[in-house]
Amino acid sequence: MKKNKLIIDIIWKAALIISVSLTIICALNYGMSAFLRAETDANVAAAKKAASLDTELEEKLLSSTDIKEQNELILQRRALALSQQEQFYQTYAYANDRSYYYHYYGKFYELYKQVESANVLILGSSHAVYGLNPKYLEQADTGDNRYYNFALNGATPSYYLDWYNGPFTEAGYQTPDTVIFCVDWFMFDSEWMWRTIGYDTPNGKGIDVMRKIIAADKDGEESKEDEEPTGESSEKPAWYDIDAWETYIFGKIPLISERDRIPEMISWVCGGAEPMTVELADMYGYDKEYEHDYFRDSWGDVVSEYYKGFVPWEANSLWGVSSRDAVRKGYEENYADLQTLLDIFEAQGTKVIFVMLPEYIPGRTAASFDKYNDIITDIAAERDIPYLNYNTELKSDINYNSDFYSDWGHMNTAGSDAFSGIFARDIQKYLS
Amino acid sequence: MLFNSLSFLIFFPVTVAVFFILPQRIRKYFLLAASCYFYMAFIPSYILILAFTTVIEYFSARLIAKYNENVRVKRLIFVLCLVLNLLTVGIFKYLGFFGEIVNFFGRTLSLGTTVFPSIVLPIGISFHTFQALGYLIDVYRGNQPAEKNFIDFSLFLMFFPQLVAGPIERSGNLIAQVKAEHFLKHENVVNGGRKMLLGMFKKIVIADNLAVISDRVFGDIENFSGLYLLIGAVCFAFQIYCDFSGYTDIAIGAAEIMDFRLMKNFDTPYLSSSPAEFWRRWHISLSSWFRDYVYIPLGGNRVKKWRWALNMLITFALSGLWHGAAFTYIVWGALNGAYVVLDRITKKARDTVTARINSVFLNGAAKCFGVLFTFTLILISWVFFRAESFSDAFYIFGNVFSRSFADFTGITSLRMYVSVFSVFAIAAIDIFPKIYDFRKLPTALRLSVYIIAVVIIAVFGAYDNKSFIYFQF
């Protein structure tokens, strides 16, 4: 009897603690879900408003017979599209804490909205994000190629295979004529290069937000209020895989996946700041050359120089010698996925060009550079892919000038300007 | 499986429930099976290493007891078993390190290099081996009778709460408990549950959030200088304390719920006023193991002063080597040994000075200074422990007073605030029990604290760094 009383006492106290804790967590989670929904809804509403304006402009364009008026309307539509893109990624740029860089949103916006509809894509890691400016490629272009820098921080060949088969295909982006693949000697290292498609998929991230906007565009109605967050994985794991269930459950709880935004959520719930949106620019006050409002965000990205996926990075730190070296974790998978991706490009007639962006050679002490560079060279040779390596055969003064770098591997504004000009000239003979 | 995982949250209550439902006489069989399952959740095949060690120890101890009168045979069996144990841990843990040394000399003498295989380290091998060796040595010395019941002995070595990261239990304590009967007691569940909750809080909220900062600083060292290097080192000091003591709390709490008593492993070490005191309070089970099985057999302090100092340095250097197969760990250990030696040498003079202080305030100030000074010394040694190389460690020492700069890109301010809160939380957790007995608080207040802790763990816990630091040892 005494033992039963003991057990009951333990159970009810444990149940009380668990139930009250869960209630508090659910309440906070509800607040976070509502906050994220309000933010997305505001963007969806702005996108719908822009779409409506665009429709008006298109109707005017179709009915216009005056060449000068038509050119004006075309420019207005382009400015509208650019301002939408700007608004979209600026919405997520305001909070200094966001670890999901705003230019990620810009790239997924381009993917789903096809503002530029590029036929020459730049893929790669952060070295390419900050190092290769499409502006110089356009200036040097002798055809009518359209460029976009789809490089993403931490991206690996495995990432790009999932990206190409996933959101790229889903968005219906046109098959590229050329892919400029910015390779890195450490790109096979999954410990160093962290990005997975699961990183860009959950609630509030680039792919998720764009899917909601596209869905709203198609349905002509607000995003469904009761739509569940997409989470990192929408497929339920096997019943016995407890670790997978743990990942699945955490992905379904916005309070945990977006907890860095708890202060903003609390402000919003308390009736403080509204989810940030940028009002649609006054269409009749646009500039023919669209300009960005901000100069630099807290990450050091020079936003005012953002151009078609490229953004320079000015780091406020002393770079120096990096002792980091590539490890073999994930090598086989990344290698295999790179081959698969190249097979896809080959099958659809897309030309691929490998380029390794210049690094600050005195600051790079990695012992495995040669090993992995040889592997990339072999792949290029087997597939007859041009390989422009600006750390070996094509190295120049850029590789030894510390003024061009924010750290051993990432060029700054001056460096990207200098390199992009050179690369734009060098690549012309490989472009159709 | 990890303590901070969904698997363990399911495994543990089920294990406890079944344990107390079963009749007393078959509980140990179930507990042994549960412990095997717990270990196999990491790498299943490595249970064979555990089984191999268990069988070797069991039969060696029985043989030592059998040939107790025959000193030569007894010693031979002891040495063979000792060598086998050390060989096992040496192959899995130190082969790569040995290879680095061999290849270093090979390159220096132009003899060429050899490729040494890289073997995945079985989790907890150092802890398990030392626990087994402690038992063997006790049996050899005649301090512990050889255990005849194989199941009891196996459970002593493989009891899951302390299997992978200690505390390193002594046979005299745990074997007796394995044989005893166990009862579901209210105070055990409450106290054990509280310890587990505290351990989870220390690990998930404090240690794993501090790890984000310390890993960034130590992993990208050239982007930090000045004050930020110091911040990184301090974060690591508290990270390793909360990580390891958190694990120990969970282990002790889990055992307590099942009516087992494991030894205390930490006793507010950062409140120590001397290095010697620190090492009486930090990782107590390992320190006492080295004291009883290395330092004292070397002669302890019953020898000449220079020899005593050497014994101390050797003991601490070996302790460093136990922690990891790298020279930075050995230097860390030796440095702490030097601290303890200097502490002892200067103790008389310091005591003389403090004895002459008649003011309570000045005595308190002297003690505070002692605590801060000790923490500074330990912090310096942690730099060697955590740094990825000697050059990184010396970079920190050479730049800690330089102009400050940092690159915390990607670390949100919320995580920074949680980290700052963590440091105060550690102080509260360690100091509050010394002032007031938490159990005396009203029930409603205690339950509220538990609820707040659960919510904070769920919301602010860092789930991107799940392993415990000491798993690598």
DSSP-derived secondary structure for A80-121: HHHHHHHHHHHHTTSSTT-SS-HHHHHHHHHHHH-SS--SEE
Residue in B391, B405, B412 nearest the CB of A99: B412
Q: Determine the pLDDT at residue A230.
A: 42
Q: What is the chain B residue with the closest CA to A241?
A: B7
Calpha distance B428→B426 (Å, rounded): 5
Taking contacts as CB-CB distances below 8 angstroms, the residues of chain B near A21 are: 451, 454-455, 458
Whether the CB of B348 is below 8 Å from some CB of chain A: the reply is: no
pLDDT confidence band for B61 (50 / 70 / 90): very high
- pLDDT of A316 higher than 80: no
pLDDT confidence band for A92 (50 / 70 / 90): low
Nearest one of A416, A419, A412 to A316, comparing CA atoms: A412
% of residues, chain B, pLDDT over 90: 46
Between A85 and A26, residue with greater pLDDT: A26
> Average pLDDT, stretch A320-347?
80
**Distance in Å, alpha carbon of A28 to nearest chain B alpha carbon:** 9
pLDDT confidence band for B42 (50 / 70 / 90): confident
- pLDDT of A281 higher than 50: no
**Distance in Å, alpha carbon of A221 to nearest chain B alpha carbon:** 34
Whether the CB of B409 is below 8 Å from some CB of chain A: the reply is: yes
Handedness of CA B275, B276, B281, B287 (dihedral sign): positive
Residue in B190, B414, B455 nearest the CB of A25: B455
Q: Determine the pLDDT at residue A220.
A: 54
Nearest one of B285, B234, B298 to B470, comparing CA atoms: B285
- Summary mean pLDDT of chain B: 87
Q: Determine the pLDDT at residue A255.
A: 85
Taking contacts as CB-CB distances below 8 angstroms, the residues of chain A near B389 are: 323
Q: Determine the pLDDT at residue A272.
A: 61
- pLDDT of A249 higher than 80: no
Calpha distance A415→A314 (Å, rounded): 10
Cβ contact B184–A3 (<8 Å): yes
% of residues, chain A, pLDDT over 90: 36
Q: What is the chain B residue with the closest CA to A240?
A: B7
Whether the CB of A299 is below 8 Å from some CB of chain B: the reply is: yes
Q: Determine the pLDDT at residue A47.
A: 73
Calpha distance A74→A286 (Å, rounded): 13
- pLDDT of A115 higher than 70: yes
Residue in A24, A28, A260 nearest the CB of B412: A260
Whether the CB of A15 is below 8 Å from some CB of chain B: the reply is: no
pLDDT confidence band for B409 (50 / 70 / 90): low
pLDDT confidence band for B411 (50 / 70 / 90): low
> Average pLDDT, stretch A330-340?
91
Highest mean pLDDT among A99-113, B93-107, B257-271: B257-271
With contact defined as beta carbons under 8 Å apart, do B159 and B228 qualify?
Answer: no
Cβ contact A323–B392 (<8 Å): yes
Q: A194, A259, A267: which to substitute to probe chain B, counting the most B Cβ within 10 Å?
A: A259
- pLDDT of A129 higher than 90: yes
Between A268 and B408, residue with greater pLDDT: A268
- pLDDT of B228 higher than 60: yes
Between B363 and B297, residue with greater pLDDT: B297
ipTM, two decimals, is: 0.78
Cβ contact A24–B455 (<8 Å): yes
Interval B64-78: pLDDT, tens = 999 888 889 999 999
Phi, then psi, of A163 in degrees rounded to 5: -65, -45
Q: Determine the pLDDT at residue A91.
A: 61
- pLDDT of A274 higher than 60: no
**Distance in Å, alpha carbon of B149 to nearest chain A alpha carbon:** 31
Q: Determine the pLDDT at residue B117.
A: 65
Q: Determine the pLDDT at residue A395.
A: 93
Taking contacts as CB-CB distances below 8 angstroms, the residues of chain A near B228 are: none
Cβ contact A24–B451 (<8 Å): yes
Between A337 and A368, residue with greater pLDDT: A337
Taking contacts as CB-CB distances below 8 angstroms, the residues of chain A near B415 are: 260
- pLDDT of A317 higher than 70: no
The burial class, CB within 10 Å (0-12 / 13-18 / 19+), for A105 is buried
- pLDDT of A119 higher than 90: yes
pTM of the model: 0.76
Whether the CB of B455 is below 8 Å from some CB of chain A: the reply is: yes
- pLDDT of A227 higher than 60: no
Cβ contact A99–B455 (<8 Å): no
pLDDT confidence band for A89 (50 / 70 / 90): low
First CA to last CA distance, chain A: 88
Handedness of CA B437, B364, B245, B135 (dihedral sign): negative
Distances (CA, A) of A221 to A58, A204, A217, B103, B374: 21, 19, 7, 69, 66
Which residue in this structure is represented by tokens 């459950």? A249
Calpha distance B226→B406 (Å, rounded): 9
- pLDDT of A252 higher than 80: no
Q: A24, A101, A313, A406: which to substitute to probe chain B, counting the most B Cβ within 10 Å?
A: A24
- pLDDT of A425 higher than 80: yes
Cβ-based contacts under 8 A for chains A and B: 92
Least confident of A2-6, A169-173, B391-395, B407-411: B407-411
Nearest one of A186, A167, A130, A152 to A310, comparing CA atoms: A130
Whether the CB of A26 is below 8 Å from some CB of chain B: the reply is: no
- pLDDT of A99 higher than 70: no
Calpha distance B468→B3 (Å, rounded): 9
Cβ contact A256–B392 (<8 Å): no
Taking contacts as CB-CB distances below 8 angstroms, the residues of chain A near B405 are: 316-318
> Average pLDDT, stretch A136-159?
93
Catalytic (active site) residue B323: yes
With contact defined as beta carbons under 8 Å apart, do A180 and A122 qualify?
Answer: yes
- Hey, which residues 149-208 in chain B have their CB within 8 Å of chain A? 184-186, 189-190, 193
DSSP state for residue B406 in the 8-state scheme: -
Between A285 and B372, residue with greater pLDDT: B372
Q: Determine the pLDDT at residue B218.
A: 86
> Average pLDDT, stretch B131-155?
93
With contact defined as beta carbons under 8 Å apart, do B410 and B424 qualify?
Answer: no
Q: Return the amino acid letter for B97.
A: F
Cβ contact A242–B406 (<8 Å): no
Residue in B184, B405, B451 nearest the CB of A21: B451
Cβ contact A243–B6 (<8 Å): yes
Q: Determine the pLDDT at residue B342.
A: 93
Q: Determine the pLDDT at residue B415.
A: 74
Taking contacts as CB-CB distances below 8 angstroms, the residues of chain B near A316 are: 405, 407
Q: Determine the pLDDT at residue B97.
A: 77
Cβ contact B458–A256 (<8 Å): yes
A53-81 b/e (C-beta count within 10 Å ≥ 16 → b): bbeebeeebeeeeeeeeeebbeebbebbb
Interval B313-344: pLDDT, tens = 999 999 988 888 888 888 999 999 999 999 99
pLDDT confidence band for A121 (50 / 70 / 90): very high
Q: B218, B328, B451: which to substitute to probe chain A, counting the most A Cβ within 10 Å?
A: B451
